[in-house]
Amino acid sequence: MIAIDKMTDDQFERHALDVLKREFGPDGLARFLRLHRSGKGDSSLDRDEWQKNLTVDEVVESVHQRRA
């Protein structure tokens, strides 16, 4: 296993979910996700606010960078 401080955010999230599933079982994991993944506020408005000055090319470039 990779040391936690060397993991990417995706690797860390996968590991954390595996630990929760092992400790709480599938039902406990589902409950945790239901409680902690439903944020407060309006994500559409938040996204619009931080993206309002981005061009389509900048958004596409950002997607390409994340995939690399």
Instruction: Give the pLDDT confidence of 7-50 residue by residue, as tens digits.
Output: 999 999 999 999 999 999 999 999 998 888 766 777 788 888 88
Q: Is the model's pTM score more than 0.85? A: no
Alpha helices by DSSP H, listed for the chain, are 9-37, 43-51, 56-67
How far is it, in rounded angstroms, from Cα 59 to Cα 64? 9
Residue 14: per-residue pLDDT:
93
Residue 39: per-residue pLDDT:
66
How far is it, in rounded angstroms, from Cα 21 to Cα 16? 9
- The residue ranking higher by pLDDT, 46 or 62, is 62
Using the predicted structure, report yes or no on whether residue 65 has a pLDDT greater than 70: yes
Q: What residue ranges do the domains of the chain occupy?
A: 7-67
How far is it, in rounded angstroms, from Cα 58 to Cα 24? 41
Three-state DSSP at 59 gives helix
